[in-house]
Structure 1
């Protein structure tokens, strides 16, 4: 089971690039399916948010082993893909994440920080 991942969020399409943003979304879905089918990641989710008042349009959640995620984050195809998304969408952000089996590591680190700050024994 996966223990690492990352979240790629995007805002609204860049004004004047809406058709290109739609095409980039389609290509992104294909790219993520290819990564999953080839075993380079364990799974992915694509989320498009319903119209609302925030500037967040949607996100991808990519999951895998720490080794898979580390390798992907340094992969040239991945970096090109992120650049393509950034060209057509505003407020693109990539955030590393603990998932599933990695949650224990995250809570252990937080517990250690609380202990070091003198907030717990």
Structure 2
């Protein structure tokens, strides 16, 4: 029998989000799989700054371990997209690089509950400065977000 705990945990995260912010659909974007079935898509942005002093080697090892892990999830069909980016300009003390991760909402919320992902996040917060995690509005949810913003402008008379 299939273990339904990851799906139930992901569903619980979605239900919690909808309960906390019932009008906020910005994180969810409609998409379609190969069969034409509709699904919801969301994303994660993980950013970091310079390595903490004395932790440079460990931070490079963590970067490679993270890239291998997230790419493996894409290859296994557990995420839809992963890409690492390094910034070529700006204040590298504050922001050196970032990862963009996308997938069906259930895939992304399963990732948030995954122990290996949580371990990587905890290690990142120890090894690098300015380690941040943000949820992303992607796809059709951007149009929804802009519509919400326009209604907000109208509501306050702008």
Distance, in Å, in 1 between the alignment partners of 2:106 and 2:47 is 22
Q: Which runs of 5+ in 2 are unaligned?
A: 1-30, 32-39
Aligned to 2:124: 85
Equivalence map 1:1-121=2 (5 Å): 1=31, 3-50=41-88, 52-54=90-92, 55-119=94-158
Instruction: Give TM-score, length-normalised by structure 1.
Output: 0.86
- How many residue pairs were aligned? 119
The higher-RCO structure (CA 8 Å, 6+ apart) is 1
What is the deviation of 1:51?
5.3
Bigger radius of gyration: 2
What is the deviation of 1:103?
1.7
Distance, in Å, in 1 between the alignment partners of 2:108 and 2:146 is 20
Q: Which runs of 5+ in 1 are unaligned?
A: none
Secondary structure of the structure 1 residue equivalent to 2:54: coil
Instruction: Give TM-score, length-normalised by structure 2.
Output: 0.68
CA RMSD of aligned residues (A): 1.8
